[in-house]
């Protein structure tokens, strides 16, 4: 074999070669999070603030409120960074299921790491992402406590300056017009880093800077032509070219409600009771309560044409459940309130401008005092059910050729509920679009969300027979729970677990409270929700379930509504004393289903009439009002 000159010299000892060593070390990741501003969804108490997780001191820590999911901890790096590594030093209270997310604007988040098998201690994660903000978003606790981090370390480097403009928004179009407004929508622009908002121009003048892909321009003149264009912008201030130009001409007049409050154009099923008294007096009592409710909770904060339902007793000042209540109530009260459509449209605008971060056709569940979505911006099923139902009511009331195409929005919302808030394996509602296969909440459902009349409306609006299957699944589950776990009372638990195997009441705290398996602050609505379907459809399953509840509570209290307690175990044992509209009012709808309960229904009605709106509780006040709407004969299914 022929050998090289080099090899011969080495063999002869006349030439030496250096020993092979390791390759040059890669540049070490740079810790970029120490001392940066940190915020969180909550803290356990003073001394556990979020900044203690970025202070380079492993003896101090951030800790969230205990027993509540989800929770998050966010770091603001000050500018866009390329993120290569995240290190989580957990205290004993760790996350089993969590995401690491990045964002350019603190609103729209991108997952760069997800896990459902966290085991605490130290998680040293190699990741790849870009953003100014980085957060840990915990959805499943590893302990009964909260989430707690000694240190939250982010490694990376400042991202290069962004000089690339977004693409132009596409397909600018009008979704609805009135004599004074034009509703616009467009396809999202794209960007190398991320689009943070848009600029809307009317006749060449900037009139709005929305964050989403829709905007309603109000204050216009009737019978007038306007030209619109839209541009996109990114976090660096780069602005796109203009979209296509759109010409909109406002019409001359509008229309009134087709089913005005008090018209009773939608009769109830045969044999359903109403409180004693003339119909006009019953209707007026509802209008009186509505005015008090409206004064206490309907707001127009943060500008932008929004209306909101204020929720002083919730975790945040605006929650999706309250907005859903507001949409159903205002659409129903059209005719009694000349401002109903204006308020409803403001609530619609709020819904459009606060989309879920997971499915943008759903409503983000919570907003803060600045009207910004918080806690991940994902959706809650209870709010979405009523939002979709309210949109269907509005379509029947006013048609869909005005400011907003209510029908189109409703169909999109309904389809999004089916896609991301119905468990395909069980046909039962999930807790929200944030729960997915494999997480600990996937086979948990909340009984107060089981609204059979809503499922009927969804079936009628979409023509999708899946809603019949979904409705039947929920009605069967109600019957099964009543038969197995509350045969003497008919009470339902707040939450049902193991819906894929042997459904049963929650064994303890699974989401909100140690009483998650009892008739508590969620399930208190079930006599109303079940009863609404019974009185409007006459369905045998709904009638049977409602009558079971009515028979027990009437006997339990001896026909005295003042004895209805705040919460019960499923066997009928009282949890708390006192009187609360959220607990006594719903039984009035169940009473309507029993021909032998006229005196009992009258007693419940009179107690509601004598109970003023609780201005500290949108929850109780909104339930009381909606129950009185039903009891007076004014609830209807679109």
For 35-70, the pLDDT digits (tens) are: 999 999 999 999 999 999 999 999 999 999 998 889
Please give the Cα distance from 352 to 356 (Å, whole number): 10
pLDDT at 288: 96
Q: At what angle do helices 279-297 and 320-332 cross, to 10 degrees?
A: 140
Point out the residues that are catalytic: 321, 382
pLDDT at 220: 85
Minimal CA–CA distance to 563: which of 541, 545, 587?
587
Non-local CB neighbours of 474 within 8 Å, separated by 6+ positions: 427, 428, 429, 450, 452, 455
pLDDT at 280: 87
Query: Which string of DSSP letters, residue by residue, matches 486-534?
Result: -TTT----SEEE-TTSS-EE-SS-SSS-TTTTSB-TTGGGHHHHHHHHH
CB atoms within 10 A of CB 25: 6
pLDDT at 27: 45
Non-local CB neighbours of 316 within 8 Å, separated by 6+ positions: 366, 367, 368, 374, 375
Would you give the DSSP letter of residue 548? Answer: H
Residue ranges in the chain whose pLDDT is less than 50: 1-27
pLDDT at 253: 58
Please give the Cα distance from 57 to 54 (Å, whole number): 8
Would you give the DSSP letter of residue 479? Answer: H
Would you give the DSSP letter of residue 356? Answer: -
pLDDT at 21: 43
Q: At what angle do helices 279-297 and 618-631 cross, to 10 degrees?
A: 160
């Amino acid at each position: 074999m022929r050998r090289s000159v080099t090899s011969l010299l080495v063999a002869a000892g006349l030439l030496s070669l250096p020993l092979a060593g390791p390759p040059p070390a890669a540049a070490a990741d740079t810790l970029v999070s120490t001392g940066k501003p940190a915020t969180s969804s909550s803290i356990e108490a003073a001394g556990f603030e979020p900044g203690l997780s970025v202070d380079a001191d492993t003896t101090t820590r951030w800790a969230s409120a205990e027993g509540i999911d989800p929770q998050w901890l966010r770091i603001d790096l000050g500018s866009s960074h390329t993120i290569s590594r995240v290190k989580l030093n957990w205290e004993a209270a760790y996350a089993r299921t969590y995401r690491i997310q990045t964002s350019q604007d603190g609103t729209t988040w991108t997952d760069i790491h997800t896990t459902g098998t966290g085991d605490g201690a130290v998680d040293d994660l190699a990741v790849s992402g870009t953003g100014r903000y980085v957060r840990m978003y915990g959805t499943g606790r590893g302990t009964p406590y909260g989430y707690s981090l000694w240190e939250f370390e982010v490694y990376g480097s400042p991202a290069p300056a962004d000089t690339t403009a977004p693409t132009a928004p596409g397909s600018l179009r009008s979704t609805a017009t009135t004599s004074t407004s034009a509703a616009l929508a467009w396809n999202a622009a794209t960007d190398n880093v991320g689009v943070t908002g848009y600029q809307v121009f009317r006749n060449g003048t900037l009139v709005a800077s929305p964050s989403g892909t829709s905007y309603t321009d109000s204050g216009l003149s009737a019978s007038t032509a306007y030209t619109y264009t839209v541009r996109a912008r990114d976090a660096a201030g780069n602005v796109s070219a203009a979209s296509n130009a759109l010409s909109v001409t406002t019409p001359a007049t509008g229309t009134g409600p087709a089913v005005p409050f008090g018209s009773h154009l939608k009769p109830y099923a045969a044999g359903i009771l109403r409180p004693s008294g003339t119909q006009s007096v019953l209707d007026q009592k509802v209008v009186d309560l509505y005015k008090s409710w409206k004064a206490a909770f309907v707001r127009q904060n943060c500008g932008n044409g929004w209306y909101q339902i204020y929720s002083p007793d919730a975790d945040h000042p605006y929650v999706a459940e309250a907005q859903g209540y507001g949409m159903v109530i205002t659409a129903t009260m059209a005719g009694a309130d000349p401002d109903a459509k204006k308020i409803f449209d403001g609530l619609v605008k709020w819904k459009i401008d606060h989309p879920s971060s997971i499915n943008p056709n759903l409503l983000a569940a919570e907003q803060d005092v600045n009207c910004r979505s918080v806690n991940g911006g994902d959706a809650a099923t209870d709010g979405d059910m009523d939002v979709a139902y309210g949109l269907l009511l509005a379509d029947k009331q006013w048609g869909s050729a005005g400011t907003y195409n209510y029908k189109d929005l409703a169909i999109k919302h309904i389809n999004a509920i089916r896609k991301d808030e119905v468990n395909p394996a069980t046909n039962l509602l999930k807790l929200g679009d944030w729960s997915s296969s494999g997480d600990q909440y996937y086979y948990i459902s909340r009984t107060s969300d089981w609204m059979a009349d809503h499922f009927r409306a969804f079936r009628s609006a979409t023509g999708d027979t899946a809603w019949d299957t979904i409705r039947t699944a929920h009605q069967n589950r109600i019957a099964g729970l009543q038969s197995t776990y509350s045969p003497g009372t008919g009470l339902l638990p707040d939450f049902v677990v193991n819906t894929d195997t042997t459904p049963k009441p929650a064994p303890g705290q699974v989401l909100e409270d140690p009483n998650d398996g009892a008739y508590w602050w969620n399930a208190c609505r079930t006599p109303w929700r079940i009863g609404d379907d019974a009185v409007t459809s006459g369905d045998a399953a709904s009638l049977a379930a409602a009558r079971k509840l009515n028979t027990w509570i009437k006997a339990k209290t001896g026909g005295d509504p003042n004895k209805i307690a705040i919460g019960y175990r499923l066997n009928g044992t009282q949890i708390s004393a006192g009187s609360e509209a959220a607990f006594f009012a719903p039984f009035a709808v169940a009473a309507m289903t029993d021909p032998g309960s006229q005196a009992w229904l009258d007693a419940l009605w009179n107690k509601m009439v004598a109970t003023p709106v609780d201005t500290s509780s949108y929850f109780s006040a909104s339930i009381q009002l909606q129950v009185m709407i039903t009891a007076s004969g004014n609830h209807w299914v679109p």
